[in-house]
Structure 1
């Protein structure tokens, strides 16, 4: 379970409430038991209940409202779709911020889901989630990458009859539900709906205008004598040969400090290690 502590909300325009927010969250994990499976058939052999105190820590995270009131009745396997959408966000996160599987995690609940929650795995926050949040309300940002992944996964794009994704798109190594209860098609529908709501916000519109106003830097003019790659390589070779000519005249071997002294016409050459 992940509960927000100090939410910082981003209100959208004409979307009927809060769309996304970020801030401090409390992550609480409880272990209720374990089960034994056969190593050969994977059939459940036994199940044992245990009672342990919950593991709890405060960290930084952000959450996205999935508009459950509008989609829950119309989208098949809606809860599985929210779970899959959380995994998809984690899958594309390294495209925007430097992070690994152990740096970020999500809420893996799949009962009565109303939002996606992404948080740092380190107590107090590691900064990865805060950086990832900046790519939510921007064109060609986080949700666009999620939609591209769900639509064009090269591994399971043409699979028919299976909607649980694959290790290339949805499967997450740190999933507490062992990558079960995932729906790729439902996640795609929810992601497109979330993106359409993001585009209606003032923050997204402002970032879109700013992105269009940024001009590409002017191209640097090519230096004289470097009209083609072959000519550039030839020019560098000539420059290197010019630098080595004085060394030959002084009987100096450049760059072979570990070799024995060379003999040229009976005259020993002084060895100097190149920088």
Structure 2
């Protein structure tokens, strides 16, 4: 958020050419607590970029009494914040603070319609009231006076030293070398992070699926024969002992449960469609 110099008696010519101050707000939600903590950082440095955002988040993490194990970041920052660069900086949080950035959610700037928009509306209204009572906003300290009266808010000045940022050497990858491509094609946000490999899913054999359909339909016709997931699994196991099917072909209980849920949904949709077609046929005759 950009806050400009404001006075109670301001001409139009005085409005233009202002530099103003940068206000960066962060709302911290905790799962175990219902309250929301607001942290505001104002700065004379009007360069709103990834470095400023990372500095603000760094100041908050350093002052939290109980640091979380993982966080989810919801941001409505505009493109000028360089979201990709910010994600790269925060990927080192696991090494710095032992905090995992588990998820990123980027919303459209100014159109998020979330708590931060309501909070900025409170700040704007507080500034209008402050100026209305013949008070002027000529310095960052005036911003602190305005915002500090909002309940649950902590506001401080932030002075990021962007000149101290050292340049980073980028290692170019030789794309003509297939070994380099295979070695660098997968990357992780934190060190020693392993890639979860997708396991092969065992599909239900056609003959097993036919038996499950028969059991399901018999249960629909006669409620006394209706089986739950475990009962259907036991029935298939009994058939395997009798040599009707192979025991290795029987699916897991979880797989059978998912099949029942999907088949029930499909069966209801098909039954509704048939009933609708019959009703349309009777209507036209």
TM-score, scaled relative to structure 1: 0.21
Structure holding more strand per residue: 1
Which structure has the greater CA radius of gyration? 2
TM-score, scaled relative to structure 2: 0.20
